[in-house]
Structure 1
Amino acid sequence: MTLANKTYRLLPEWSPQDGLQLTWPRPDGDWAQLLSRIEATLERIVIATTRYQRVLISVPDDTTQRRLAETFEAYGIAQQQLMLIVAPTDDTWARDHGPITVVDEAQQPLMLDYTFTGWGGKFPAEHDNRLTQWLDDAGAWTCPIAPRSMVLEGGAIETDGEGTLLTTEACLLNPNRNPSLSRTDVEAQLAEDFGVDRVLWLANGHLEGDDTDSHVDTLARFCNPSTIAYVRCDDSTDPHYPALNAMEQELMAFRQRNGEPYQLIALPWPQACLDPEDGHRLPATYANFLIINNAVLVPTYGDPADLVALQALSIAFPEHTLIPIECNSVIRQHGSLHCLTMQLPKGTLAPALSQS
């Protein structure tokens, strides 16, 4: 399937959703030493999300499928709220190996299946790159999918749903992604696939411990078409301060389509989170929140800034319930809450499969 004969539009995260996609960790994968902890975090995400919508989970084997079915039944989650599909995977970061959904002029969804290379070849990604097609073969989707040769991860882009895309130069223009594409080429591809006619490029901003080359979902996020929440570092002695201060100035200079500045909501800077084994800095960020139907899941880190972040996001989402999800274990593998998840807009997720 090609996009040439239709005009498509990239959906913002706050669009109505059928469900949420998660990828459960393999017992022998990178999470092996933290398996019980990351599973507990994922369970909290499932429990919170199934109050509002369904959850699709790729699981590594039949044993895990049966165990999770029993666990979530014990938690009182209705079977029709879950879809558990056995599939081979490399890691858990559904945001980056999951499908990116667009809609045509009749609001019919299409899932774009971009090439995933483990963030520029840093990590194995062969199974994750095939996962969207695998799930399609298993009957997970109720809409078509379109393979795309471009290397692109969901965490690298943000949209207002009205033709504007927010992203970072460090990721989308990195030669480890699409070395043959210039900025003009990238913008042309984004325009074709997503129906965008404006790209707001952030030249600054990064987090230590981030493997993604500055995914925008760790730094700055659309909350609605006129509002951007962003990470603000207020500690001038912190090594992040120069780049994040420069990013803040860029955001202040951006303009909406009508020429007005964006409403900017500064998210607080948590105390440095360090890996307990070797002491390296971990990428704790409150920008990695997740919007679902009528709720926003917010990563927390056991830090005094957690409450400040929740208060700030309550301004951005006055009609949503804010649900804190502790993510100290998640950042041990250099991601956070949003990175673990991919929203599945209305019209994408097939009816529940019978579980064996």
Structure 2
Amino acid sequence: MSQRLFPEWYPQDAIQLTWPTRESDWAPQLERIEATLEAMVVAIARYQGVLITVPDQSTRERLAATFANLGITADRVRMVEAPADDTWARDHGPIGVERDGKVVLLDYTFTGWGGKFPAQRDNALTQCLAASGTFVTAVESRDMVLEGGGIETDGQGTLLTTEACLLNENRNPQLSRDEVEARLRADFGVERVLWLKHGHLEGDDTDSHIDTLARFCDPQTIAYVRCNDRDDPHHAALAAMEEELLALRQSNGAPYRLVALPWPKPCFDPEDGHRLPATYANFLIINGAVLVPTYADAADAQALRTLAEAFPDRDIVPIDCRSVIRQHGSLHCLTMQLPRGTLAAPGAPQDDEER
């Protein structure tokens, strides 16, 4: 049996989003986060489809009118009603793999990042979508606790992750490191698991998800966050992570091309002053473009230039994510890509070629 975990740059049917509600933690800033999500939908719909989980029919109708007013054609947005606890589709969404030439969606157990937050409805969301006929492909449940933000792949047999997340006792305490690796190899067809010991962001609830720290841009290139401010409490851990990345090798023995992303000035919550997890590593690769989180910071321009060099054949689209980090995530965390061949009709247009 041939199997592999799709890299993010594989052609996509759609980006999955989960819309926030007034009953969620977003209630105090619902208008702001909705405005950010609307900007994301406008940007994504230029290139491909968007699948949005909404809580009820009234929200569906309101958003349909909003998107029409924003000039988004109806064929680009599909909405499905299903209950959810929160908006972080990266972690409660399905993970797409290719098995013998067909797409299969793996539905892992989501526990709110180790029991930190309610997650029962989020954990059931993929099965709700499957039951509604949203997916044309098989959906397989897994009892292993795993979030999409915790793994990165080059699509060629290598998986990159962090020990702080996947080996955390709040995820799968019954599994040893070797047993975790065995499951990753079996499910994703990977031949190598590269573990990072260092790196974290203050304000991050995920126990150091890799998508906040280091990301594959292509099989040879890893973009990562670098902190040059020695007075910043992140400096030592991120410098140690950089050394780890420098020591990593591709499967052919060659070092990776490392692309250092800038470090924005500290962002703090306006209510209680705690630091928020602003990171440029939380970008999103879609068909023909890369969406990049920005924070109204001087480093934004450098981050956009750096990622434009890393993705020379894709448009670079900035998205203001100051509202998103208020709930301790960023742009990539809000999304999950659905590989081409995932959606049942009516599906996303499939007119973009793999890059």
> Shared fold by TM > 0.5?
yes
SS at match of 1:312: helix
Q: Does 1:342 align with 2:329?
A: no
- CA deviation profile, 1:121-149 (whole Å, cap 9, x unmatched): 00000000000010011111110100000
Provide the residue aligned with 2:288 in structure 1.
294
SS at match of 1:90: coil
Task: Give the Å deviation of 1:350.
Answer: 1.6
Amino acid at match of 1:47: V
Provide the residue aligned with 1:228 in structure 2.
222
SS at match of 1:285: coil
Provide the residue aligned with 1:69 in structure 2.
64
Task: Give the Å deviation of 1:31.
Answer: 0.1
- In 1, the alpha carbon distance for the partners of 2:341 and 2:312 equals 26
SS at match of 1:314: helix
From 261, 276, 279, the counterpart of 1:282: 276
Q: Does 1:10 align with 2:12?
A: no
Equivalent residue runs for 1:140-159 within 5 Å:
140-159=134-153
Q: Does 1:268 align with 2:262?
A: yes
Amino acid at match of 1:324: P
Provide the residue aligned with 1:303 in structure 2.
297
- In 2, the alpha carbon distance for the partners of 1:214 and 1:78 equals 38
TM-score with structure 1 length normalisation? Answer: 0.97
From 128, 131, 153, the counterpart of 1:134: 128
- In 2, the alpha carbon distance for the partners of 1:142 and 1:167 equals 29
- In 2, the alpha carbon distance for the partners of 1:314 and 1:82 equals 27
Provide the residue aligned with 2:28 in structure 1.
33
- CA deviation profile, 1:46-105 (whole Å, cap 9, x unmatched): 000011110000001111110001110111111111111111000000000000000013
Alignment RMSD, CA only?
A: 0.7
Equivalent residue runs for 1:1-356 within 5 Å:
6-105=1-100, 107-352=101-346
Greater shift in the superposed pair: 20-29 or 333-342: 20-29
Provide the residue aligned with 1:3 in structure 2.
none
- In 1, the alpha carbon distance for the partners of 2:33 and 2:76 equals 21
Task: Give the Å deviation of 1:206.
Answer: 0.1
**What is the aligned residue count?**
347
- In 1, the alpha carbon distance for the partners of 2:259 and 2:15 equals 26
Amino acid at match of 1:309: A
- CA deviation profile, 1:283-339 (whole Å, cap 9, x unmatched): 000000000000000000000000000011011100000000000000000000000
- In 1, the alpha carbon distance for the partners of 2:22 and 2:81 equals 14
1:96–1:154 contact (8 Å) kept in structure 2 = yes
Amino acid at match of 1:40: A
- In 1, the alpha carbon distance for the partners of 2:246 and 2:68 equals 48
- CA deviation profile, 1:241-284 (whole Å, cap 9, x unmatched): 00000000000000011111000000000000000001000000
Task: Give the Å deviation of 1:7.
Answer: 3.2
- In 1, the alpha carbon distance for the partners of 2:70 and 2:294 equals 23
- In 1, the alpha carbon distance for the partners of 2:295 and 2:36 equals 12
Task: Give the Å deviation of 1:352.
Answer: 2.3
Moved >3 Å (runs of 4+) = none
Task: Give the Å deviation of 1:201.
Answer: 0.2
Task: Give the Å deviation of 1:192.
Answer: 0.1
Greater shift in the superposed pair: 344-353 or 247-256: 344-353
1:82–1:352 contact (8 Å) kept in structure 2 = no
Structure 1: any 5+ residue segments left out of the alignment? 1-5
